[in-house]
Amino acid sequence: MRFIDLHVHSNLSTGADSPEKMLEHAGALKVTLGLCDGARGDYPSGIELSPTSRRDLRQKLGKKLDYAVVCGGSYRINRLAVAESRVDILAHPDLGRRDSGVDAIVARAAAENKVALEVNLGRIINTSGTGRVYVLRNIKKTLMLARKYGAPLIASTGAESWIGLRGGDGVYSLLRMIGFQEDEALDAMVTVPAKILRGEMK
């Protein structure tokens, strides 16, 4: 099953493995990989930003790559990210939080500005105990709000080494298990990331 994973890092940023190794293993899994290292390559190339203010975000968005990801978690940054149409993905909006970091205001703005809300499956796989409970609960809340307001969702692994990569069949099964309908899962895995790469979300 096809999967386009746009939130992956190589050793050009925070990852452990080279772009070549990440792409080789993605190829074996039949996954299209986008590396958000902030460097242009012969593959979908993105950047993950950690802005401190609206002005800082707009300045950092000046770098021309295939897509832009904002590292969320702070509610203020979540709000800033979804209000800026040049942002493509709000990554892990619940990072460091017990709640999802997504409410009606964030979901509505994400829908209006076509900013995809990330469902980071690596966070499910790599957490345990009550941490996993919070992650699953937060994803379900984000899914519910995305349905209500029409916000786009995007699935990713957040992988920082080849070990963290996942094939499409496993990603699809996990999304279905946590409550995604078939069309929602396929949109998050393929349709939304493909539209981002074609520039059709803006």
Q: How many CB atoms lie within 10 A of CB 58?
A: 13
Q: Residues 26, 29, 35, CA angle at the centre, nearest 5°?
A: 20
Backbone dihedral region of 44: left (phi > 0), alpha (psi from -120 to 50 degrees) or beta? beta
What number is the average pLDDT over the span 48-60? Answer: 93
Amino acid at 77: I
What are the structure tokens assigned to 93, written together? 């909006």
- What DSSP string describes 18-57? -HHHHHHHHHHTT-EEEE-BSS-BSB-BEEEE--SSHHHH
Q: What is the pLDDT of residue 125?
A: 87
Q: Which domain holds residue 130?
A: 4-198
Q: What is the pLDDT of residue 128?
A: 83
Number of domains in the chain: 1
Collapsing DSSP to helix, strand or coil, 130 comes out as: helix
Tens digits of residue pLDDT in 57-104: 999 998 789 999 999 999 999 999 999 999 999 999 999 898 999 999
Tens digits of residue pLDDT in 170-201: 999 999 999 999 999 999 999 999 999 999 98
Q: What is the pLDDT of residue 200?
A: 92
CATH number of 61's domain: 3.20.20.140
